[in-house]
Structure 1
Amino acid sequence: MRYPKEIILKDGTDALIRPLAIIDEPALREFYSKIPEEDRWYMRYDVTDPAVIRKWIDGIEKGPVYSTVAFISDKIVAHAGLHLRSFGSTRHVGRLRIMVLPECRHKRLGTWMLLDLIRSAMDKGLTELRADFVVGIEDAAIESAIKLDFFKKAVLEDYVKDPKGTRYDMVIMIKCLHKDWGDF
């Protein structure tokens, strides 16, 4: 593919995007150890569990997730995943997951990661992307997705619950991809 990708963030910081590699396991564990609890409770996996990170690393070559990481200097500052299915009625749909360190947010790093996953999804022949967001928590990410032509497909009211028991809506967003032309 087209890696590594050198990018410049909104504040002028240089960063590098490339696929997750086996040698990244310690750096990925370190990255997720810096994500605060208020940003982890709505994730699908306990990213503080070394076994979760190990499973992701073990799946690099053969797993259903295509992962990229962004580095500033020698530290991972963002991790993105494109979840794929090889069988079934939704094998044409990729699911997205992106996490950015708090100090690197609002610098368009998440947008760069999203653009990269969109291109990868197109290269893999997918026709739709799905991203789920917690309303009231991930509003900036929702707005970024809308700017990249994702649309709200459904809102699941009071679907997710934080550790204190407060319920939030989850919005399911979809982006249609066209293999014959690029989105950007």
Structure 2
Amino acid sequence: MKLEGFPQTVFLRDGTPVAVRPLAAADAKALLEFYRSLPEEDRLYLKDDVTDAGWLQRFVALVGSGEVVSLIAERAGKVVAEATLYRALRGWSMHVGEIRISVAPALRRDGLGTSIARELVKVATRLGVEKMVIEVVENQVGARRMFRKLGFRQEAVLRSHVKDINGTKRNLILASTDVSHIWDAMEALVADFSPSAE
């Protein structure tokens, strides 16, 4: 599936430009390097083993099928963030998209997560997604804070629902927002992270 309007340039809080574009099959190696560069503590809470070449092959196939939309952010030729929209292509949840975002530790709190989320929401809107959901492990305090600022509200806590890569059971938080509600929150956040913001 070809996504229109890319590449996009987004700006970090300090004004540094970062390119955001859809993942292409040729980006597979760079994406794997990005995920392998994340600290184990970050990968501890990810739904999939993103360091596994088999996962990458399946992921790229899902992107190719259109079931998954993946945007990557690049700076100096390296992937520094990835945002994913998972959606059903048929059935009663076709209007719902699940999003996941990973950002390089050095660029967190610089507005990159919010900026790439904004681009992903634009794509989701064009694809007819009306509701966005997230699943985060209770320990992911930073991710929960960012999504709360984007308008997501907790709907459920599933106790001991997931096992991290070390086999420790963790609580899973489900949160959602209507796409129509997310825009106001995102506009306020983008203004906060704008290089011209005081």
* Both structures adopt the same fold (TM-score exceeding 0.5): yes
Question: Alignment partner for residue 104 of structure 1, among 87, 102, 107?
Answer: 107
Q: What is the TM-score of this pair, normalised by structure 1? A: 0.89
Question: Structure 1 residue runs of 4+, over 6 Å off?
Answer: none
Distance 1:111 1:84 in 2: 20
Higher relative contact order (CA 8 A, sep 6+): 2
Q: Structure 2: state its 5+ residue gaps.
A: 188-198
User: Aligned runs of 1:66-145 on 2, under 5 Å?
Assistant: 66-136=69-139, 138-145=140-147
Task: Name the CA distance, whole Å, in 2 between partners of 1:182 and 1:64.
Answer: 23
C-alpha deviation, 1:51, in angstroms: 1.9
Distance 1:163-1:59 versus aligned 2 partners, 3 A rule: closer
Q: What is the match of residue 192 of structure 2? A: none
1:103 is paired with a residue whose SS is: helix
Pick closer, same or farther for the CA change 1:18–1:164 going to 2, 3 Å: closer
Give the percent of matched residue pairs that are identical in Structure 1 and Structure 2. 35
Opposite residue 19 of structure 2, the aligned amino acid is L
The CA distance in 2 between the partners of 1:49 and 1:106, in whole Å, is: 28
**Aligned residue for 1:26?**
29
Alpha carbons 1:16, 1:72 under 8 Å: kept: yes
- The unaligned stretches of length 5 or more in structure 1 are none
Q: Distance in 1 between matches of 2:102 and 2:163?
A: 19
Q: Give distance in 2, aligned partners of 1:159 and 1:132.
A: 11
Match of 1:35 among 38, 51, 62: 38
